[in-house]
A = this chain, B = another copy of it.
Amino acid sequence: MSADLEEGPDLQLDFSKLANASQPQVLPCAVQDAATGEVILVAYVNEAALARALETRSAVFWSTSRNELWEKGATSGETFDLVEVRVNCEQNSLLYRVRPRRGGICHTKNLTGAPRNCFYRRLDFDTGALVHLDP
């Protein structure tokens, strides 16, 4: 992952994401901080990930890039309590409402060294550039 893609101001959306998912048996899952209401991640969940999430009451996903169970924070320590799981009308997407045990959910960090939440940039409507919300 290039620094520009993750840190730069240019919009470089990866519209091929789903086409390349070699594990298609997944649902998109919006992840929301239950206390602040902030949407902090959109990830993927398959049956195994959901089962593990319910078993551990933690945020567990399926990594479509590594093709493996992604127990959030297992290595970084930034784990998340699973407060609530919601299902949409057509049962083809999920919402995890979570509570951070420690810090942000993103693998990127802000200038203070703290993990961010993943949606740390907004698209400026006038310039088309990405604006950092947590530089």
Chain A interface residues toward B at CB < 8 A: 1, 5-6, 11-19, 21, 24-30, 32, 36-39, 41-42, 46-47, 50, 54, 57, 84-95, 106-108, 116, 118-123, 125, 130, 133
CB<8 Å pairs between A and B, sample of 23: A1-B90, A6-B89, A12-B91, A13-B47, A13-B92, A14-B27, A15-B27, A15-B46, A15-B47, A18-B21, A18-B26, A18-B27, A29-B42, A30-B39, A37-B37, A39-B39, A85-B122, A86-B119, A86-B122, A86-B133, A87-B119, A89-B116, A93-B118
Do residues B93 and A5 form an inter-chain contact, with CB atoms below 8 A?
A: no
Given contacts A13-B87, A28-B42, A89-B108, could you give 5 more A-B pairs where the C-beta distance is less than 8 Å?
A: A6-B91, A11-B91, A39-B39, A39-B95, A85-B125
Residues of B within 8 A of A25 (CB): 15-16, 18-19
Q: Quick one: given A28-B42, A123-B86, are A92 and B57 in contact (CB under 8 Å)? A: no
Do residues B13 and A17 form an inter-chain contact, with CB atoms below 8 A?
A: no
